[in-house]
């Protein structure tokens, strides 16, 4: 069970509440349920009388104007909301939820050169962590570090593809990494994500896995990006390394998708260019004293965020309730946790912090998926709840 304690200091952005932060909270009452909330210096305000879901809010022509005009209903201080979040939450008080509800949770894969190389290594090692180091040397000798300068789908990328095929080093991961088409997949079902302060789940059969710290775009049905949050695209490297057809088993397990703590809407303090240049930091603290740290710079991404949005939604695919889009990660941990050459993998009780200065910090504790809180509040429960609260 997670013992993480969320506070204003370890959760909010460096500029506090200067930006426009929206989220979701479980609101107690005669009929308890989830509501969109706005965080302000004077407290946390329930917006459900105007917008019953985050999805509905993001469909507004200007979510920023809408939340600034909505008075909302005061539910407590920011400190009270954060302090009552996690396994210790008092059901009679408001608690923080992941800031996504009816949106489909999508993810872009292999969008950074370094993580692309690690995916090739997983494939070549067939999911065996013990073989990864020797394979890593062979792959880097064949590919080198020049991939950062290659624009996906460009003539230079196609020439590199021809060379790698000739060398016998071509891979499905290189195809989506430097080819014209991005890898876009469904990370988790609607309403399946967990939020900050919750446990994240690792499949109990996995022996090689890691966190993936990422920027997550909040996109409406028209493909408009209105804000950003943080995410952990928990990944089973051994499952995916054995076969890319096991992607769903590697990516989509109970509690394997964390999003939060809040969505920061674009306003005069925060723009898409801030996203393009932000750095996402990761820290894993194990009960065994092990500490893993790393960072992922969005400046090194191979595809622009708006290109990834365009490849997700449009004439060929629609998302009437919008979607959350993970942008991929530069970070692929290779630091040995135990024996030399064994690489990194999670242990039960690891505390994972994913942060970026203007987005705050997403905090979770690792457990097995079958031991995490089961997912029971799905779409049927959501619709019944909203109806019972008079919000439909």
Task: Say what the pLDDT of residue 12 is.
Answer: 98
Q: What is the pLDDT of residue 382?
A: 98
> What is the reported pLDDT for 131?
73
Give the predicted TM-score (pTM) of the model: 0.90
Angle between helices 113-125 and 132-143 (to 10 degrees): 130
Query: What is the pLDDT, as a whole number, of residue 113?
Result: 64
Which residues make Cβ contacts (< 8 Å) with residue 362, sequence separation at least 6?
Answer: 196, 229, 230, 231, 232, 258, 259, 260, 261, 353, 354, 355
CA 305, 39, 232, 113 torsion: positive or negative?
positive
pLDDT of residue 372: 97
- Token pair for 37: 């909330």
What pLDDT, on the 0 to 100 scale, is given for residue 143? 61
How far apart CA 302 and CA 305 sit, in angstroms, is: 9
Q: Give residue 388's pLDDT band: very low, low, confident or very high (50, 70, 90).
A: very high
Q: Per-residue pLDDT for 10 more than 70?
A: yes
- The whole-number average pLDDT for the span 162-179 is 75
pLDDT digits (tens, 9 = 90+) for 251-267: 999 999 999 999 999 99
Angstrom distance (rounded) from CA 116 to CA 152 = 12
Residue 309 CA, distance from chain mean position: 15
- Mean predicted lDDT score pLDDT of the chain: 91
Give pLDDT tens digits for 217-229: 999 999 999 999 9
3-state secondary structure of 81: helix
pLDDT of residue 327: 96
- Residue 165: pLDDT band with limits 50, 70, 90: confident
Does residue 126 carry a pLDDT above 80? no
What are 45-76's pLDDT values in tens digits?
Answer: 999 999 999 999 999 999 999 999 999 999 99
pLDDT value of residue 354:
98
For residue 119, what pLDDT band results from cuts at 50, 70 and 90? low
Q: What pLDDT does 144 receive?
A: 61
First to last CA, the chain: 35
Q: Report which listed range, 45-59, 127-141, 339-353, is most confident.
A: 45-59
State pLDDT tens for residues 178-207. Answer: 788 999 999 999 999 999 999 999 999 999
SS3 25: strand
The proportion of the chain whose per-residue pLDDT surpasses 90, expressed as a percent, equals: 71
Quote the pLDDT of residue 290: 94
Average pLDDT over residues 291-302: 90
Q: What residues form DSSP beta bridges with 285?
A: 291, 351
Mean pLDDT of 119-132: 71
User: What's the rounded mean pLDDT across residues 361-369?
Assistant: 98
Q: Is the pLDDT of residue 159 over 70?
A: yes
Instruction: Report helix, strand or coil for 199.
Output: strand
Find the mean pLDDT for residues 298-309. 93
> Confidence band (pLDDT; 50, 70, 90) for 243?
confident
Distances (CA, A) of 207 to 66, 78, 193, 200, 242: 47, 39, 23, 16, 12
With cut-offs at 50, 70 and 90, classify the pLDDT of residue 149.
low
């Amino acid at each position: 069970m997670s013992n993480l304690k969320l506070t204003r200091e370890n959760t909010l952005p460096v500029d506090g509440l200067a930006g426009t932060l929206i989220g979701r909270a479980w609101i107690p009452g005669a009929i308890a349920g989830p509501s969109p909330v706005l965080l302000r210096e004077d407290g946390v305000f329930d917006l459900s009388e105007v917008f019953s879901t985050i999805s509905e809010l993001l469909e507004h022509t200007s979510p920023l104007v809408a939340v600034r005009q909505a008075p909302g209903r005061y539910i407590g201080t920011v400190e009270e909301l954060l302090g009552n979040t996690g396994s210790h939450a008092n059901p009679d008080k408001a608690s923080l939820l992941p800031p996504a509800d009816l949106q489909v949770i999508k993810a872009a894969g292999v969008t950074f050169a370094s993580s692309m190389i690690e995916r090739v290594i997983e494939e070549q090692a067939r999911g065996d962590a013990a073989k990864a180091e020797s394979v890593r040397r062979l792959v880097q000798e064949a590919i080198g570090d020049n991939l950062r300068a290659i624009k996906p789908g460009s003539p230079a990328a196609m020439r590199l593809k021809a060379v790698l095929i000739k060398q016998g080093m071509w891979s499905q991961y290189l195809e989506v990494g430097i080819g014209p088409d991005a890898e876009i997949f469904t990370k988790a079902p609607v309403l399946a994500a967990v939020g900050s302060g919750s446990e994240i789940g690792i499949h109990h059969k996995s022996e090689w896995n890691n966190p993936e710290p990422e920027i997550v775009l909040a996109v409406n049905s028209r493909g408009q990006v209105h804000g950003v949050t943080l995410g952990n695209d928990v990944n089973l490297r051994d499952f995916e390394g054995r076969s890319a057809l096991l992607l769903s088993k590697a990516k989509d397990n109970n509690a394997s998708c964390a999003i939060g703590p809040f969505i920061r809407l674009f306003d005069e303090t925060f723009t898409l260019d801030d996203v393009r240049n932000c750095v996402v930091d990761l820290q894993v603290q194990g009960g065994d004293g092990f500490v893993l740290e790393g960072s992922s710079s969005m400046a090194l991404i191979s595809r622009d965020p708006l290109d990834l949005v365009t490849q997700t939604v449009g004439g060929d695919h629609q998302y009437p309730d919008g979607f959350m889009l993970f942008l991929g990660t530069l970070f692929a941990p290779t630091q040995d946790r135990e024996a030399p050459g064994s690489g990194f993998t999670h242990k039960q009780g690891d505390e994972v912090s994913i942060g970026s200065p203007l987005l705050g910090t997403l905090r979770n504790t690792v457990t097995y998926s079958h031991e995490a809180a089961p997912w029971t509040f799905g779409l049927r429960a959501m619709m019944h709840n909203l109806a019972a609260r008079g919000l439909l």
